[in-house]
Amino acid sequence: MGRKLLLEKAHVEGIRTYEVYRREGGYASVEKALKSMSPDQVTEEVKKSGLRGRGGAGFPAGMKWSFLAKPEGVPRYLVCNADESEPGTFKDRYLMEFIPHLLIEGLIVASYALGSERTYIYIRGEYAWIVDILEQAIAEANQAGFLGKNILGTGFNCQIYVQRGAGAYICGEETALLESLEGKRGNPRIKPPFPAVKGLWDCPTVVNNVETLAAVVPIINIGGEEYAKIGVGKSTGTKLISACGNINKPGVYEIDMTISVEEFIYSDEYCGGIPNGKRLKACIPGGSSVPILPANLLLKTAKGEQRMMNYESLADGGFATGSMMGSGGFIVLDEDQCVVRNTLTLARFYRHESCGQCSPCREGTGWMEKILKNIETGKGKKSDIDLLWDIQRKIEGNTICPLGDAAAWPVAAAIRHFRDEFEWHVNNPVESQHRNFGLAHYADPLPVPVTA
Amino acid sequence: MAEEKKLFKVTIDNITIEVEPGTSILTAARMIGGDVAPPAMCYYSKLKGSGGKCRTCLVEVAAGSTADPRPMPKLVASCRTNVMDGMVVKNITSERVIDARNGVVEFLLINHPLDCPICDQAGECHLQDLSYDHGKEGTRYEFNRRTFQKHDLGPYIQLHMTRCILCYRCVFTADQLTNKRVHGVLDRGDHSEIATYIEKSLDNDFIGNVIDVCPVGALTDKTFRFKNRVWFLKPVDAHCECTKCKGKVTLWYRGEEVFRVTARKDQWGEVEDWICNECRFEKKKTSDWIIEGPSTVSRQSVISQGHYQNLVMPKETMPEVMGGRQPRLLMDIHSVSEVNRPDVDLSALPGPAHSTDFPKKS
């Protein structure tokens, strides 16, 4: 049983309300930080903890905070990215819905560290009911004196505002989020300048994921060094994983990054195995935009080692044989699932969510979707597979924001690992319409390279 | 004593140049000129905030600077990346760049209607030039090309959304030149389009400049529409006393007639001075203008083929061989036949022509 830091109290009855949260030890980190630490000490503590951004890229949060420009007389902003729209990822929703005060607490501490007097939560528009929950929590925190003017008599002022998005995945990209927050069209900005220098209303801004900010609370409470002891290597602390797909117990799990992928899927404590005795075929371990892996590469790395649930191990082997931790959306596919269909679904999503600003993503995502649709419906040609590869190659890395990469990677990985399934679809156009390719050899043990 | 400004040394395609700090790679490459300058479909030096979108100007940075000589992992948009001292840039000497640029051109063309034969922009279209330089002869795209619902932008400007490459130049132009922007980009992704959300006409003063900044034939001059091909016209520089703009324009003549008026453009196809709507749309008589002389047209441009600079007229040989006598006309094919009744204007009839439309002449 791994240690829990974020969701430990999530199921205490009434934890959503301020009284219960406070009774359970809530807002202790605010008291500790504001009364006994300087803003730089808080940042230092987060740096020591090795906390990595939980939104997908995994950039060290403390580093990001220390990059924030601090010119005189210019306000600084902290923006919480709650625009969680990645297919397969729903951890932030769980956190905000069940234990909203944890996020508010983390936001106050982070705002103090960064000197943000106006802090924003940019929340996905579809999470309409969570806005009410958060605003309730903010009102309660205001009443208790943890927000507003002169918090705890320290002279620090801070107010948190919740802003709803209008249903665009792209607004989860930090600069598009800032544009949207400013009331403009949610087009990603061209970097540099980075938000740490010119962000919201051209002021220095830090944008952090919900889970990252919530993790600040235990870091302050137990200390950065203590936090860094949890987990392995550069994957410190605990991570929320939202597991879904063909598993017995879908849901949000907090793991401490020391368990293996195999244990995560099959143990009763977590996903509880695959229903109806089916076998594992493939898995997207970090939300829709990370590369899909076949069962054999998922459980063991190319070197034949056990693959663990942490940043390094999931990325082991690069994109050739590995994947990414991403935002923790763990999607499991059993032997009855069709990888071509799955890839088409993802390609359709990215086509629909492309902002249309830069050409490779605007045109390429739609093209990929159309070709995949042809292959899926039995109208594909053999050359289409190579064409898909060429298109994704020309999108990746050539776009303004990471959405182009996110659209290219799933297609690339599906072709890289499941090329025979694509070819089977092309070669058997009739059969592929009423039967699946099945598990094939995707779970066969990998040939272990002989070391001399 | 004023301190001497430090110049940044940047090497682009093995050519080193010294530029002022804050110069973009594209601008530095344009200073060198020639093939070294990357193509730019969305960047416009006179529009603030433009660039970075089309990705045709991607270049490889082989060394970031003298202080940090690491190469940049991704190709960068040269129009929005500033040079650093000691930077080494590869444009046409990099295979990665050429490959990526070909890809971008292909992306720009898959949904382009390729209706150049009926497009007014043909001959001065940047996308046409770009696809001649980087495009393939065939397409790998086998699907229906994107279409849009038609929008009417009023009496001056014609919108062909199918040709648009979403460079956002016209949006910046309207923002930065006119008193109010009424058009913009609606929707997102591959169905995003330029439109005025509720049918409005674009008639703010200076809005006509969107025609000049449009790199393709998406925004064209309604007063010139289908009147003539640009390569049949002869561009002439002219000016007038205008209270709103500098009045420096190019007149496009065919014979004695002014077919259209545009702003003057520099060698990168960018407008030199913005002109007002009145100069562009209303003053179409030679008497409105003071002629300066023929405009210089790039030798590479198709427009120069009909140009009269250094024109050598073929020698008339007939009078010479006939000893000064004029040839006798057997039949004058230049007169108009009366059989088809040229006095009846067919296009003025409300419906199909009928026998009653051709009353017998008494």
What are the CB-based long-range contacts (under 8 Å, 24+) for A125-133? A125/A164, A125/A165, A125/A166, A125/A167, A126/A85, A126/A167, A127/A82, A127/A84, A127/A93, A127/A96, A127/A164, A128/A164, A130/A82, A130/A93, A130/A96, A130/A97, A130/A100, A131/A162, A131/A164, A133/A16, A133/A96, A133/A97, A133/A100
The one-letter amino acid code at B197 reads Y
Strand blocks (E) in chain B: 8-12, 15-19, 58-63, 76-77, 87-90, 157-159, 184-186, 193-195, 219-221, 234-239, 248-254, 257-263, 290-294
Record: contact B55-A168, CB cut-off 8 A: no
B240 by Cβ neighbours in 10 Å (0-12 / 13-18 / 19+) ranks as middle
* Averaged pLDDT of chain B: 88
- The label of the residue with tokens 């009926």 reads B118
According to DSSP, the residues that pair with B8 across neighbouring strands are B19
The token pair that represents B302 in the structure block: 């198709």
Task: Give the tokens for residue B287.
Answer: 């008497």
B22 touching A (Cβ < 8 Å): no
* Per-residue pLDDT tens over the stretch B35-45: 899 999 999 99
What tokens appear for B110 in the block?
Answer: 């898959």
Lowest mean pLDDT among A156-170, A337-351, A435-449, B204-218: A435-449
Query: Do A357 and B53 make contact, defined as CB atoms within 8 angstroms?
Result: yes
Quick one: what percent of chain A has pLDDT higher than 90? 78
Mean pLDDT of A195-221: 93
The answer on pLDDT for A438 being more than 70 is yes
Which one of B51, B108, B188 has the shortest CB-CB distance to A168? B188
CA A104 to chain centre: 19
Whether the CB-CB separation of B13 and B89 falls below 8 Å is answered with: yes
- CA B57 to CA B27: how far, in whole Å? 11
Q: What CATH number has the domain spanning A235-334?
A: 3.10.20.600
Tell me the mean pLDDT in the region B151-162: 90
Antiparallel, parallel or unpaired: β A231-232 and A235-236: antiparallel
| pLDDT band with cut points at 50, 70 and 90 for residue B1 | very low
Which pTM does this prediction carry?
A: 0.87
Mean pLDDT, all residues of chain A = 92
pLDDT for A229 beyond 60 = yes
Q: What is the pLDDT of residue B310?
A: 60
Q: Which residues of B touch A352 (CB under 8 A)?
A: 189
Name chain B contacts of A387, Cβ cutoff 8 Å.
Answer: 140
Supply A32's token pair.
């500790």
Q: Is the pLDDT of residue A439 over 90?
A: no
Average pLDDT over residues A152-168: 92
Which residues are CB-contacts of A437 (< 8 A; sequence separation ≥ 6)? Answer: A338, A339, A420, A421, A424, A425
Q: Check pLDDT > 70 for residue B98.
A: yes
Q: Cβ separation of B141 and A362 shorter than 8 Å? A: no
Mean pLDDT value of segment A409-437? 93
**Which CATH number among 1.20.1440.230, 3.30.56.10, 3.40.190.80, 3.40.50.720 corresponds to the domain A339-433?**
1.20.1440.230
| Cα angle for residues A111, A161, A62 (degrees, 5° grid) | 25
Q: What percent of chain B has pLDDT over 70?
A: 97
B269-281, pLDDT tens digit by residue? 899 999 999 999 9
Contact residues, chain B, for A351 at CB < 8 Å: 189-190
- Is the distance from CB of A419 to CB of A380 less than 8 angstroms? no
Question: What per-residue confidence (pLDDT) applies to B41?
Answer: 93
> Helix, strand, or coil here: B83?
coil
pLDDT top residue among A294 and B199:
A294
Q: Give the nearest partner residue to B166 out of A362, A366, A398, using CB atoms.
A: A362
- In 3D, which of A10, A3, A7, A50 has the Cα closest to residue A257? A3
Looking up tokens 């156009």 gives: A429
Residues of B in contact with A353 (CB under 8 A): 188-189
CA distance B287 to B238: 11
| pLDDT greater than 60 at residue A279 | yes
Are A359 and B80 inside 8 Å of each other by CB?
Answer: no
- Give yes or no for B143 touching A (CB within 8 A): yes
**Has residue B331 got a pLDDT over 90?**
no
**B105: its two tokens:** 């051109």
Task: Judge: B80–A394 Cβ closer than 8 Å, yes or no.
Answer: no
* B197 touching chain A per CB within 8 A: no
Report the distance separating Cα A212 and Cα A337, nearest Å. Answer: 33
Contacts of A359 in chain B (CB under 8 A): 53-56, 104, 107-108, 165-166
- Name the residue with higher pLDDT: B344 or A95: A95
Which residues in A have their CB inside 8 Å of a CB on B? 168, 170, 185, 190, 351-360, 362-367, 370, 387, 393-394, 397-400
- pLDDT score of A177 more than 90: yes
Fold entry, domain A18-229: Rossmann fold (3.40.50)
Closest CA to A241 of A317, A320, A308, A331: A331
Question: Is the peptide bond preceding residue B39 cis, with omega within 30 degrees of 0?
Answer: no
CB contact under 8 A, B54 and A359: yes
**What sign for the dihedral angle of Cα B311, B312, B318, B323?**
positive
Cα angle: B195, vertex B47, B39; to 5 degrees: 90
Residue B348 distance to chain A (closest CA, Å) = 44
- Helix, strand, coil share of chain B (percent; to 5): 25, 15, 60
Which pLDDT band holds residue B344 (cuts at 50, 70, 90)? confident
Q: Which chain A residue has its CA at the smallest distance from B141's CA? A: A367
Contact of A384 with A374, CB cutoff 8 Å: yes
Average pLDDT over residues B123-151: 91
Q: Using 50, 70 and 90 to split pLDDT, how confident is the model at B252? A: very high
Identity of the residue in A363, A366, A400 whose CB atom sits nearest the CB atom of B52: A400
Ranges of each domain in chain A: 18-229, 235-334, 339-433
- Residue in this structure with the two tokens 């009045």, named with its chain if needed: B247
- CA dihedral over B224, B207, B194, B235, signed as positive or negative: positive
For residues B67-74, give the mean pLDDT. 90
Per the CB < 8 A criterion, the answer to whether B97 and B58 are in contact is: yes
Look at residue A139 in the predicted model and tell me its pLDDT: 95
Q: Which helix (H) or strand (E) holds B177?
A: helix B169-177
Give the one of B52, B140, B189 whose C-beta lies nearest to A354's C-beta.
B189
Question: Cβ–Cβ contacts within 10 Å for residue A435, how many?
Answer: 11
pLDDT at B8 over 60: yes
Give the pLDDT of residue B306: 64
Q: Does B132 touch chain A (CB under 8 A)?
A: no
The sheet with strand A76-82 has its strands ordered as A148-151, A156-164, A116-123, A76-82, A205-209
List the structure tokens of B349: 């009839």
- Chain B residues whose CB is inside 8 A of the A382 CB are none
C-alpha–C-alpha distance, residues B18 and A412, integer Å: 42
Question: Does A148 have pLDDT greater than 60?
Answer: yes
Q: Give residue B362's pLDDT.
A: 65
Question: At which residue do the structure tokens 């907090």 appear?
Answer: A254
Render pLDDT for B175-205 as a digit per residue (tens, 0 to 9): 999 988 889 999 999 899 998 877 788 888 8
Cβ atoms of residues A172 and A209 within 8 Å: no
Nearest residue of A to residue B82, measured between CA atoms: A192
pLDDT tens sequence across A120-140 = 999 999 999 999 999 999 999
- Residues A246-259, mean pLDDT to the nearest whole number: 92
pLDDT band at B307 (very low <50, low <70, confident <90, very high): low
Is the peptide bond between A192 and the residue preceding it cis, with omega within 30 degrees of 0? yes
Chain-chain contact of B75 with A366 (C-beta, under 8 angstroms): no
Q: Are A140 and A117 in contact (CB under 8 A)?
A: no
Judged against a pLDDT cut of 80, whether residue A176 lies above it is answered with yes
Question: Are A290 and A324 a contacting pair, CB within 8 Å?
Answer: yes
Inform me whether the pLDDT recorded for A340 exceeds 70: yes
Cross-strand pairs, A60: A52
Spatial CA neighbour of A385 closest among A398, A366, A368:
A368
* CB nearest B55 (choices: A353, A356, A358): A358
Q: A79 forms bridges with which residues in the sheet?
A: A120, A207
The mean-pLDDT minimum among A26-35, A45-54, A107-116, B349-358 falls in B349-358
What is the mean predicted confidence (pLDDT) over A88-116? 93
Contacts of A179 in chain B (CB under 8 A): none
Tens of pLDDT, residue by residue over A355-386, are 999 999 999 999 999 999 999 999 999 999 99
Chain A contact for B112 (CB, 8 A cutoff): no
